[in-house]
Amino acid sequence: MLRRLFPLLLLLALSAAVRAREAPASDYVSPYRVEFSFSEEELIGDLLRGPRSDWRTYADVPFRDWYDASNHRRWGYWGPRVRHFPPPNSATTRPPQWARERVIATGLRYVGIGYQHRHLPHWDPPADWPRAPNQTTTGPGIDCSNFTGFVYNLALGLLPNTSIRGQAEMTEVLGPGPGRRTRVQRIELPRDYEEFPRVLRTADLLFIRNRQGQVSHVVLWVGEIGRSPDDRPLVLDSTGPAHRDADGARIPDGVQLRPFGPRSWYFNNASHALRLIPD
Per-residue pLDDT of the chain (279 residues; tens, 9 = 90+): 334 444 443 344 333 223 334 455 568 999 999 999 999 999 999 999 988 899 999 999 999 999 999 999 999 999 999 999 999 988 888 999 999 999 999 999 999 999 999 999 999 999 889 888 877 778 899 999 999 999 999 999 999 999 999 999 999 999 999 899 999 999 999 999 999 999 999 999 999 999 999 999 999 999 999 999 999 999 999 999 999 999 999 999 999 999 999 999 999 999 999 999 998
Confidence (pLDDT) at 131: 87
Domain extent listing, the chain: 6-126+136-275
Share of the chain residues as helix, strand and coil, in percent rounded to the nearest 5: 30, 20, 50
Confidence (pLDDT) at 24: 54
Smallest CA-to-CA distance from 152 within 93, 206, 200, 107 is with 107
146 touches 152 (CB < 8 A): no
Confidence (pLDDT) at 11: 40
Confidence (pLDDT) at 91: 81
Confidence (pLDDT) at 18: 33
pTM of the model: 0.92
The identity of residue 119, as a single letter, is H
DSSP secondary-structure letter at 164? H
Confidence (pLDDT) at 6: 45
Confidence (pLDDT) at 173: 97
Looking at domain 6-126+136-275, its CATH superfamily turns out to be: endopeptidase domain like (from Nostoc punctiforme) (3.90.1720.10)
